[in-house]
Amino acid sequence: MFSRNLARTVQRSKSCQHWRFFSISEWFKSWKNAAQSQRLIYPPPASQFTTNNRIIDVWITEKQELYNYINVKPPLLLNFAFADAQNNKVTQALFDVLSDKSKYPNGQEPVYLVNILADSPGGKELMIDYVVGKKLPCVIVLKHQLVVGQYTPDTERFNEQDVIEFLKTV
């Protein structure tokens, strides 16, 4: 009796077209590809800086983490970005220009840069607080805790010179 019922169940399940084959190797490949496309980048070490700028090397994911950096006297740049290839291109250009004296247009005036991960819960809260639109990456300029400027680059036609022109206005 038991084997007959089991046989009927197996026959019915074979007739169903809702089977999805699962492959461990395919799952790992998709996981690896997702990890490659969502990679956080970090600034160069402080020993390689030739400017007085300060790039905070921690990505902000909670609203409370920003309070440690918000009271600085120099202008503060808030870089709202995702961890994808297009946004990383803009973030890397910011890192390169702010850390290299030959590229930095403002000479001796220091600037602080804080990176905020926009797809984290804290990042979404901060986007609402600083009225960041849905177009990312976006750099907000704060002076004395007040928003004085905003820069939203076009990621498809972006080059490093765009960042240099933006930093001239800071």
Return the bridge partners of 115, or none.
59, 79
Return the bridge partners of 60, or none.
116
- Residue-wise pLDDT for 38-93, tens only, equals 678 888 888 888 888 999 989 999 999 999 899 888 999 999 999 888 899 999 99
Fill in the DSSP letter of residue 43: P
What is the pLDDT at residue 153?
92
What is the spatial distance between Cα 123 and Cα 165, in angstroms, rounded to a whole number?
26
- CA proximity to 83, closest of 61, 100, 104: 61
Name all domains of the chain by residue range, CATH numbers in brackets. 43-168 (3.40.30.10)
What is the pLDDT at residue 138?
95
3-state secondary structure of 150: strand
Contact 97, 44 (CB under 8 A): no
**pLDDT confidence of 121, banded at 50, 70, 90?**
very high
CA 166 distance to own-chain centroid: 19
Higher pLDDT, 31 or 113: 113
Query: First vs last Cα of the chain: how many Å apart?
Result: 82
What is the pLDDT at residue 124?
94
Q: How far is CA 26 from CA 22, 29, 35, 91, 103, in A?
A: 8, 5, 14, 32, 44
Contact 58, 112 (CB under 8 A): no
pTM: 0.77
Helix (H), strand (E) at residue 114: strand 112-117
